[in-house]
Amino acid sequence: MNDRLFELLVDSFTKILIPGLTMTIPLTIIAFSLALVIAMVVAMIQFAQVPVLKEIARLYIWIVRGTPLLVQLYVVFFGLPNLGIMIDPFPCAVLVFSLNEGAYCAETIRGALEAVPKGQMEAGLCVGMNYFQIMRRIVIPQALRTAFPPLSNSLIGMVKDTSLAANITVTEMFMTTQRIVARTYEPLALYIEVALIYLIFCTVLTKLQSYGEARLNRLVGVKTTR
Amino acid sequence: MALLEIHNLKKSFEKQEILHGIDLIVDRGDVIAVIGPSGSGKTTLLRCLNFLEHADEGQMVFDGSAHDLHHIHGKEIAAIRKRTGFVFQNYNLFANKTALENVTEGLIIGRGMDKDKAVAIAREALAKVGLADKEASRPSQLSGGQQQRVAIARAIATSPDVIYFDEPTSALDPELIGEVLDVMRALAEDGMTMIVVTHEMGFAKNVSNRVIFMEDGSIVTAKESKEFFEHPEDERIQTFLSNIDRKEA
């Protein structure tokens, strides 16, 4: 590797990392947190078979999962201004990513809720607890233990998907890299560099996942017996 | 006055009638063994009594207050459940709670009891089933017999008027059945009212004071245990008992 290229990589490392810390990570954290809230509500509505709302939940999941994330970003960012709805790039990305991820996570959580044996609810009713008490104290904690690995998967997936926000002018890591490439004509080295930074982020998350699973095991007790 | 009266309880699953109008009277202190071939509706009957299944028809008089089993209100159900206990075939301990928490949950959360008081009651209940030293264990760390004993502790901790047992030993390894039956026998001797769906003829014969024999969704006969086993005049009962003898031989 020649010195010029080495210098470029060192120099661009912080240039790419900074939008990673100020854009990619906040975007991921905010959007994923909102996604979890949406997912929890949508999953609970389906699990509890709430009439009408249940149909709306299915419709939401159907539309979101059946259309590309990139197209969703375009519709909201470039399309909605036709109706007079203008949203800034960052909030727009938060909105689309959280709605998108919310649909996938809702299915994960619904599946995890349904995997908790029916007997847990019945036993709760028989000791005099009500539906909400049993959900909060017995069913949801067990479901979250089941849902934790696939939800971690979704979170790690979202870190990488945030690169799509470059398309709606959010200056996150990938867009920053593209700009440096345009100036320096070193696409191979720079794109590998940004890939490695994504890899570092995701490695940290993977470590956090193992730590979180171990903690949850202690908190919730290991898997349900049946 | 009887503790519990059931009149004409009917239950269907998808148009197939499983219970054809059950009548049942339970006095305080009764230990009733409900026996019969599988598919006869024993478990469904028990589950209807605690509203885990919703009966299609019938009346219940619980400690003097009458309820329509089909049109019963959620509040009435909750009130009755707080005076009953239920022990499941597969224990159904709360998997995310310790043995002690399994017992206190219904007291603290279900009944709003003060925590210290609930813990004291729960420890006493666990001691009664011989598991005082296991209060910090999770269900996954306990054997089947131990789990079922915790489940019984959970049921007795709330001082219910009656405890329903749904085949409490059927999921257990043979060598663990005895410890659970011993606890149930002790409860019976304490005067606890119990309705026990069981295949344990020894328990039916020696512990219960009455036996109900069910077949095809009806009660074929209900009599004193001694009488039932000494003079099983009905042919269906004779067949059932000889089948069980053959299995146990």
Q: For residue range A44-97, list pLDDT tens digits in order.
A: 999 999 999 999 999 999 999 999 999 999 999 999 999 999 999 999 999 999
Domains of chain B by range and CATH? Answer: 1-31+38-83+201-249 (3.40.50.300)
In this prediction, residue A201 carries a pLDDT of 96
> Is residue A224 scored above 60 in pLDDT?
no
DSSP H/E element including B35: strand B31-35
In this prediction, residue B248 carries a pLDDT of 67
Distance from CA of B231 to the nearest CA of A (A): 37
DSSP H/E element including B30: none
Residue A226 inside a domain? The answer is no
Judged by a CB distance cut-off of 8 A, whether residue A226 touches chain B is: yes
> Is residue A225 scored above 80 in pLDDT?
no
> Is residue A226 scored above 50 in pLDDT?
no
Judged by a CB distance cut-off of 8 A, whether residue A144 touches chain B is: no
Residue A35 inside a domain? The answer is yes
A19-32 pLDDT, tens digit per residue, is 999 999 999 999 99
Q: Range of A116's domain?
A: 3-220
Q: pLDDT > 70: what percent of chain B? A: 99
Chain A contact set for B89 (CB, 8 A): none
Residue of chain B minimizing CA distance to A219: B96
Chain A contact set for B140 (CB, 8 A): 221-225
Look at residues A54, A74, A52 and name the one whose alpha carbon lies nearest to residue A164: A74
| Inter-chain CB proximity B138 and A221 less than 8 Å | yes
Task: Kindly indicate the confidence band of residue A219, based on its pLDDT and cuts at 50, 70 and 90.
Answer: confident
Distance from CA of A161 to the nearest CA of B (A): 34
| Inter-chain CB proximity B138 and A222 less than 8 Å | yes
User: How many CB atoms neighbour CB B77 within 10 A?
Assistant: 15
Distance from CA of A152 to the nearest CA of B (A): 21
Residue A19 inside a domain? The answer is yes
CB contact at 8 A, A27 and A162 = yes
B18-29 pLDDT, tens digit per residue, is 999 999 999 999
CA atoms within 13 A on the CB side of A110: 21
| Inter-chain CB proximity B105 and A124 less than 8 Å | yes
Residue A225 inside a domain? The answer is no
Look at residues B52, B42, B45, B40 and name the one whose alpha carbon lies nearest to residue B10: B45
Judged by a CB distance cut-off of 8 A, whether residue A132 touches chain B is: no
Of A133, A138, A226, which is closest to B96 when you measure between CB atoms?
A138
Which has more confidence, A216 or A40?
A: A40
The domain that holds A178 is classified in CATH as: 1.10.3720.10
B86-116 pLDDT, tens digit per residue, is 999 999 999 999 999 999 999 999 999 999 9
| Inter-chain CB proximity B147 and A225 less than 8 Å | yes
A92-134 pLDDT, tens digit per residue, is 999 999 999 999 999 999 999 999 999 999 999 999 999 999 9
B190-234 pLDDT, tens digit per residue, is 999 999 999 999 999 999 999 999 999 999 999 899 989 988 888
Measure the CA–CA gap between B179 and B174, rounded to whole angstroms.
Answer: 10
B30-59 pLDDT, tens digit per residue, is 999 999 998 899 999 999 999 999 999 999
In this prediction, residue B167 carries a pLDDT of 95
The answer for residues whose C-beta is within 8 angstroms of residue A24's C-beta and 6 or more apart is: A159, A162, A163, A172, A173, A201
In this prediction, residue A222 carries a pLDDT of 62
The amino acid at B27: D
Of A129, A223, A226, which is closest to B109 when you measure between CB atoms?
A129
Judged by a CB distance cut-off of 8 A, whether residue B53 touches chain A is: no
Distance from CA of B50 to the nearest CA of A (A): 8
| Inter-chain CB proximity A222 and B139 less than 8 Å | no
User: How many CB atoms neighbour CB B159 within 10 A?
Assistant: 11
pTM of the model: 0.89
Residue A24 inside a domain? The answer is yes
CA atoms within 13 A on the CB side of B5: 11
| Inter-chain CB proximity B52 and A126 less than 8 Å | yes
In this prediction, residue B235 carries a pLDDT of 86
Q: pLDDT > 70: what percent of chain A? A: 97
CA atoms within 13 A on the CB side of A63: 9
Q: Total structural domains in chain A?
A: 1
Chain B contact set for A225 (CB, 8 A): 91, 93, 95, 139-140, 147
